[in-house]
Each structure stands twice: as C-alpha cells, then as structure tokens.
Structure 1
C-alpha cells in the first residue's frame, strides 16, 4: 500500500472543486461539452459574472477548457466551455501538472526505501498525477497498486455536501479519469464501489491489459 506521500505546495482543499457552485458547473460541462455562459447561467441561476469567475477558476486548475465558436453566419462568436477529458478536450495546465507530479514521484522513488513498484513507469506516473490532484482537492488517498484501488475514505466532502453526493461522486470520477488520460498510460477509472456509508469511498482502476 502507498499513501500520497507528496506535497504540492498548496493547502489541502484549495482545489477549484472545493466550492459546490463550481462543482455544479463542472458537472454540467461534463454532461455535455461546448456550453455557453448563458446556458450555465440558466441552469445554475448564478449571475453571469459569477459563472465566468467560476469557469476561469476551473480553467486555471485544468478541469475546463474553452474554445471560440466557429460561425458561418454574422454575429459575434460565442465562447464554448467543455470539461477536460485528456483525449478530445486537453488542458495544457493538466498536462503540466501531470509532468510535474511524475518528476516528483520519480525523485521520491529513488530516494525513499520501499518495495519494488508493481506497476510499469507509465502507470506509476498516472498514479503520481492522480494522487497529487486528489490531495489538492482535500483527500488523503491510499493507493493499492496490487488491487488497483484508490481509497478516499473518509470523503472530504461527505458531511459538508451530503445532499449533493451523487453529483459530487460523478464529478470526482470524471476528474480522475481526465487526470489519468492527461498523464497518459494504461490505467483508467473502472468505477466506484458502492457503500451504505457516504464517508466510505473506494475507486476501482482498470489496467489496459485487463480489458476484454
């Protein structure tokens, strides 16, 4: 078992998703890409300036990307917002964070004693990026490389935002998959183990060699 063991220089909980309004916006752009500010304002009842501020924060953290609409008719092109997925919607911020996490992980594996890694280098770098992102979001992840599980118990958001658990879980899983894809490698999110206790959360990963 390995715990995070890494620090990023930012306080836990600093992540953009520590604010539920941003979680809600991220959930909307995860559900459907190319959203406009007007659509997000209508869906959230937030002020347009507030939505723009939240979107910028999500962009700064690498969770959302923007693109200018291509118009074939007259009119000012709109800005379209999509959730980063690491494949079709890629964030340079997320790629940069993944590279930095991999470098820190390589240094730690060289200087700290421990068992030989059970995963190949690409998968280890994915885990490095995933752990650092989760730590920034306020979690204390525990990774089991043999079982390919990530334990997030106790969930940092289970009590404060219990009424939004379904949306939160969906958003967190989407972010985790995005981080893994941006880092590049054989691992992907397979799902979350169900539990009657909302504080308990274990995410199952899948190695490419395990896919049918």
Structure 2
C-alpha cells in the first residue's frame, strides 16, 4: 500500500492525517481507554501497580496490564519490578515517562514494531495464520475465565466482546445488515502498523476476537475480519454457532 493510500485510509477511519505525518497527541494515537490509563499514571507521583490501576480505571487486571505494557512498548511509561527477598513473582509498577523523553522512546518503539512485523512477514511460515493463533492466545488471556459449569448465552457473549474491544481501544459498535451481524471497529490502536503489515496486525486482531469468544465458550463465532471495509472502519462478522458444532477444545479456525 503506497504512502498516499495509507494516509487516505487513516483519514477515512478517524478523520485525521497519519501519525507518521504529524505530531500526534497521545489520545489520537492510543485510543481513549489507553490514553486514560496514561493520564492516570501522569497524575500520580508514585508508580502504580496493576491491581491499583485496574481498580481506579474499572478494568479487569489482565486488561489493565495489557494497556500498561502497551504504554511501556510505546515508550510512554516505564516498568520496574518490586524487589523481593522471598520466593514468588515480583509485582510490576508503572510510571509515566516525561514528554520529551517519551517522544524519543516512542519513536524507538515504533521502529522496533516495524522491524518485528516486517521480520514476522519474512521469516514466519504462513504469517497470517500464525498471527491469528497469537491473537487467540492473547484473547483468551484478556478474558475473565468463567466459573466452573457457568454458561453464557449469545447475547451476553456479544456484550462481553464489545466491552473488551472497547477497553482495548477499538471503539466498536454492533450493526445488523442484510449480509448479517457485524461489529464495526471505528478505531485501531495500531493503525499505522496495520496499513503496512495488514496480514500480521489484522490477523492478530481477528485471533484476538476469536480467543475472547473461545474463552467465553459461548454459541458465537467471529467468522472473518474485513480491514477498512468502509468509511466507518473495519468490519468483524459474527455468526451463531449451533451447540452440536461447538467443541470443548475449540479447534483453531483458519483466517
């Protein structure tokens, strides 16, 4: 995809020029929820742990950790580990990096992301399928596990999927059309990278949604993802799964 097409694609989905062609504020680049986590870190004199961040933001701890680690990867926050003199996993604490320093680290993080995504495309066999599998694992991790023998119906699963995608910064909205049910993802937390390496980034996002649904063990499937399918964003298509077609182990679906 050429540079001009990439700029136009970003303008279609969020109405703004590409972040690589402008000085972006953190909210436009990160999405609303991750920007709110960053603002929380900036408002605190002391580093915050995952549990404290989750409590103040009203997030699941795994989702809070995901946003915090993403801020570290973006060069906007720094992670330190709690010193421990006893066995056990040390707790991680996070603090915001001052703006000037953050800009330098963010540029380095963007370069690293480009390198890794490009290497993935070049060296990983069947890179799109591998990206979907990777996304599925993260989708399961980010979804709160159900209690034993607890069941969830399709309607509740759709609502939970929307909530998690909202927390991750996708700004989703559910729509029903003549073609079927879909989620319109009106924002992409990694749009610049997705425009360059759609097989990797969009594959991860498809797998992410499938992993969420699989962990919920609900009669719902994410059948496909259409990147930048319209002026409103990307379209994720949903379908109802019959009970007889469901499996305890949820075998991997092809993208």
Measured against the shorter chain, the TM-score band is 0.3 to 0.5
- Give 1 or 2: higher helix fraction: 2
TM-score of the pair, normalised by structure 1: 0.45
Ranked by relative contact order (alpha carbons within 8 Å, sequence separation 6 or more), the top structure is: 1
TM-score by length of 2: 0.39
